[in-house]
Amino acid sequence: MTNLIDIKGVTHAYQTPLGPLPVLNDLNIAVPEGEFCAVVGPSGCGKSTLTRLIAGLMKPDRGEVWLHGERVTGPRKTVGMAFQNPVLLEWRTILQNVILPLEIVAPSLPKKDREARAMELLALVGLEGFENKRPSELSGGMRQRASLCRAIVHKPDVLIMDEPFGALDAFTREDLWQTMHELRAKEPFTAVLITHDLRESVFLGDQVIVLSGRPATTQYVLDVKFPGERVLDGLYTPESSAMLHTLREQIQIAQGRAEPGQAA
Ligand SMILES: Nc1ncnc2c1ncn2[C@@H]1O[C@H](COP(=O)(O)OP(=O)(O)OP(=O)(O)O)[C@@H](O)[C@H]1O
Ligand SMILES: [Mg+2]
């Protein structure tokens, strides 16, 4: 299997008035095509910086980012992004928001085809009937569903999500986890998900990368062996508990609160 995302020895520092702030240090991540990579790590360790580097919005000081066998040197059209704040445009309807990337990436696609594509996704996430509403008329969870549709409407080969469910209540979040699995089953994509929620990382991830404290490097990689089907009940099994325990221990180490083997 080829790696769709290859992050090789990425090192980066921000230049600040107080001098360089090292954020990433010799970071290596490999995500095979079709896999879902969850990334967890202490607050401020460099996770959002990592998403900007993968998307080509920034260049690393050292190291390389490869997508689909091509070195990333600038923004690419084949990347979809979703953030904690859905940032939908209030002057556009939900449908018009979702088709926005198609207007940019596929301007020659007839309007009716763009709309049909957007409607197909909106139906898939349960937003049929809301396509002509404005973002403010929807709940937070519904807005985030629309934002996920917008992120994948142009069939990106990689979807990058930076805490997309972070602002939602626990039940809405769990609903959206299931929506993610439904979207993936219908339209496979390769994903990088930044999250603070360890259960989310295990439920959605094929691998979970634990980043160390800043400057972040790959501290631990968990190969997720989810017990059976990806249903929420599977999180309440001894196998999942063991994975969550390992991740919690690794986060404590990353936060400098425990030495390896000593985490509570
Ligand atoms: N444009 C910038 N210029 C200077 N420093 C920055 C810039 N962006 C981020 N930083 C700093 O780099 C570090 C990493 O930031 P980043 O946003 O990548 O962390 P994060 O892991 O996403 O944090 P959080 O979990 O809180 O979202 C932080 O100390 C932040 O203050
Ligand atoms: Mg962040």
- Phi and psi at 227, nearest 5°, equal -70, 110
Say how far apart CA 141 and CA 178 lie, in whole Å: 13
Q: What's the gap in Å between 187 CA and the centre of ligand 1? A: 32
Let me know: does 19 contact 189? Beta carbons within 8 Å. Answer: no
* Statement: the pTM of the whole predicted model exceeds 0.85: yes
Say how far apart CA 109 and CA 44 lie, in whole Å: 41
Residue 230 has pLDDT above 60, yes or no: yes
Q: How confident is the model at residue 77 (pLDDT cuts 50, 70, 90)?
A: confident
Let me know: does 54 contact 65? Beta carbons within 8 Å. Answer: yes
Where is mean pLDDT largest: 148-157, 161-170, 171-180, 246-255?
246-255
Residue 98 has pLDDT above 70, yes or no: yes
What pLDDT was estimated at residue 134?
A: 97
Given strand 207-211, what is the order of strands in its sheet? 79-83, 158-162, 190-194, 36-40, 207-211, 218-223
Q: What's the gap in Å between 87 CA and the centre of ligand 1? A: 20
- Segment (H or E) for 47: helix 47-54
Say how far apart CA 76 and CA 80 lie, in whole Å: 9
Query: Nearest CA to 50 among 70, 72, 68?
Result: 72
Number of neighbours of residue 162 by Cβ within 10 angstroms: 21
Residue 210 has pLDDT above 60, yes or no: yes
What pLDDT was estimated at residue 64?
A: 95
Q: How confident is the model at residue 47 (pLDDT cuts 50, 70, 90)?
A: very high
Q: What's the gap in Å between 44 CA and the centre of ligand 1? A: 5
The number of helix segments (H) and strand segments (E) in the chain equals 7, 10
Which-ligand-closest: CA of 41? 1
Cβ–ligand 1 distance for 49 under 6 Å, the answer yes
What pLDDT was estimated at residue 262?
A: 59
Which residues have CB less than 5 Å away from ligand 2 (the ion)? 47-48
What pLDDT was estimated at residue 28?
A: 95
Query: Nearest CA to 170 among 141, 146, 192, 201?
Result: 141
